[in-house]
Amino acid sequence: MHHEPHPINKSSLYVVATPIGNLGDMTPRAIETLRQADLIAAEDTRVTGHLLKHYSIGTPMVSLREHNERGMADKLVARLQAGESIAQVSDAGTPAISDPGARVVAHARAAGLRVVPIPGASAVVTALSATGVEHGFSFVGFLPAKSAARAHTLSQWQQRHESLVFYEAPHRLHDTVAALAQAFPTRILTIARELTKLYENFETIALSEADAWLKTAPEPRGEYVLVLHEAATQNAETHPAWHNTLAVLLKELPLKQAVALTVTLTQAAKNEVYAHALTLKNQS
């Protein structure tokens, strides 16, 4: 690891993460990059203005919002090509994650320019890191606001078994929890609120109990990440893992060899493996 302050390069786009609530999560590298850049492209110059003021950074800003990102992308690329270094920030967290920024990055890359990530907070990773789900996850972000569209999107995720992460606004939280309970009645949900802030809170509920939870839950306030836990492995108790191994080996080998190998590979009890092998053979 090295941590010398890097002088930043000309003609480079820096994608700079900022805190999601706790100013202590601003990294030294992010501060230095914002200070040294020729220009900061900010989602909201007022929000970023507060951050810059706190660190006495005087770098000029332009506004890069969702509705002007298309037009701005070309302008920013032209300025990069003219030799400027530009830092891109959103209101909170990592740019381009449910925030503007991806289009500028794509244009800069298409023009062969250097794009440098300056990592830091992101609500999705922050929530996941303290939820306790294993294996992979998919990031869904914001669901559509209209209930039919939301149900349609959720129906497309129903086939998937991995954990899913959603962002949600407080005024839609209860509707979304209800929609998740409809679509995934057997799954567990962690509701992470106000991450890194004073009222940070994690609550984990079974979606089968969502109705009761919704009746007693206080009025949602602040910011929320929802983590739908992965589906429980199907029939994990009734089907031990060695069943799979045995089934695969039986396709390739005589029964006796398949049983012996399964026992060696999985340390399962020989009599059990043998009995199950006979059952499988009789079924086929």
Query: Which chain residues interact with ligand SAM by CB under 6 A?
Result: 20-21, 90, 92-94, 97-99, 122-124, 167-169, 192, 194-197, 223-225
Phi and psi (nearest 5°) for 109?
-65, -40
Between 192 and 246, name the residue whose CB sits nearer to ligand SAM. Answer: 192
Between 210 and 225, name the residue whose CB sits nearer to ligand SAM. Answer: 225
Between 85 and 122, name the residue whose CB sits nearer to ligand SAM. Answer: 122
Query: Could you tell me the smallest distance in angstroms from the CB atom of residue 95 to ligand SAM?
Result: 7
Alpha-carbon gap, residue 74 to 167, rounded angstroms:
30
Between 102 and 261, name the residue whose CB sits nearer to ligand SAM. Answer: 102
What letters, b where the CB count within 10 A reaches 16 and e where it falls short, cover 64-73? Answer: beeeebeebb
Query: Could you tell me the smallest distance in angstroms from the CB atom of residue 195 to ligand SAM?
Result: 3
Query: Could you tell me the smallest distance in angstroms from the CB atom of residue 269 to ligand SAM?
Result: 48
Alpha-carbon gap, residue 224 to 103, rounded angstroms:
26
Residue nearest to ligand SAM (CB): 93
Query: Could you tell me the smallest distance in angstroms from the CB atom of residue 242 to ligand SAM?
Result: 42
Query: Could you tell me the smallest distance in angstroms from the CB atom of residue 100 to ligand SAM?
Result: 9
Phi and psi (nearest 5°) for 126?
-60, -45
Between 155 and 201, name the residue whose CB sits nearer to ligand SAM. Answer: 201
Alpha-carbon gap, residue 80 to 158, rounded angstroms:
43
Residue 194, token pair as written in the block: 């106000």
